[in-house]
Amino acid sequence: MDLAALLDRIADDVATDIGRGVVADYIPALARVEPGRFGMAVAEVDGAVHGVGDWERPFSVQSMSKVFTLALTLSRGDGVWARVGREPSGDPFNSLVQLEHEDGIPRNPFINAGALVVTDELARHGDAADALLAFLRQESGRQEITVDPEVAASEAGHADRNRALAYFMASYGNMRHPVPSVLDQYVRQCSIAMSCADVARSALFLARHGLRNDGSRLLGLSAAKRINAVMLTCGTYDAAGEFAYRVGLPGKSGVGGGILAIVPGRCAVCVWSPGLDARGNSVAGVAALDRFTTLTGWSIF
């Protein structure tokens, strides 16, 4: 398969989708991104990376970071599953509703409430955002990867909903650390800027059933399978059914317009285009991944 040529073709095929949708603006710094950007990178399990468009341009990873914090937490044991579920929520990513019905246990690790619990769990071993940065730099080979201070400040200034979620869970005894500290780590984790190439390279452990780029094991086979499974069922907000239908891969999107998808045994793919659909997923990103699995036949189904 000539992946470089394939990516060129996909970029042509989705040209009319690029710029469609709405750039997230509830975090003001995110609204400054140009909607016409598009990049896509594929990292193969042997380490080769191919890309098209803005594939080396850093953007705000936002909720794609939740895959990596979950992996780092599970690499230290699976205690987090006593504090967070693994069912699709059926509610928006920042909803408070379900938490009251289910005693402060979030439905899954990818909605904001669940990700706050994961960050809180990882923080038992030190600053969660620092641990995440160290991991991403190591896996991508790019020491320059860092938190975008402008996005972090903007997000911290508009965090009332996440603060409410965290305090609400604290009232049920589901926060180990003080809420301001967990929130600070969560905001920095979401505000990390990376390119499609960086994200795809850093996520290869999920395509390699738990093995990192240096050959060491981050996760057992079962934990890696479980993360892919939760990405498939819960990774694209309230549109995971539609994403599975169109793309057929484990995926995790972020409001910065990025989507990470995994082809187990083969590659990690990251696509970025900032215009979001009504459910919060990149319009051109979903279209590009749809073309990717159609043209390669590499869906998991």
Q: Which residues are catalytic?
A: 63, 66, 186, 237, 255
Which residues line the annotated binding site for substrate? Answer: 63, 112, 155, 162, 186, 237, 255
Site for ligand GLU in 73-132 (CB under 6 A): 93-94, 112
The CA distance from 214 to 216, in Å, is 6
Look up residue 39 and give its two tokens: 């990049």
- Residue 69 CB-density burial (10 A; 0-12 exposed, 13-18 middle, 19+ buried): buried
For the record, the structure tokens of 129 come out as 């955002």
Q: Does 277 bind ligand GLU (CB under 6 A)?
A: no
Residue 255 binds to ligand GLU (criterion: CB under 6 A):
yes
190 is a contact residue toward ligand GLU (CB under 6 A): yes
**Contact string (CB under 6 A) for ligand GLU, positions 159-188, x = contact:** ---x--------------------------
236: its two tokens: 């694209």
Q: Give the three-state DSSP class for 243.
A: helix
Nearer to ligand GLU, 7 or 240 (CB): 240
Amino acid at 207: A
Q: Quick one: how many helices (H) and strands (E) in the chain? A: 13, 8
Q: Phi, psi (5° rounding) for residue 4? A: -65, -45
Task: Considering only residues 141 through 160, tell me which ones interact with ligand GLU, judged by CB under 6 A.
Answer: 155
Check residue 293 for interaction with ligand GLU (CB under 6 A).
Answer: no
Positions in 47-76 near ligand GLU (CB under 6 A): 62-63
- Residues at the interface with ligand GLU (CB under 6 A): 62-63, 93-94, 112, 155, 162, 190, 254-255
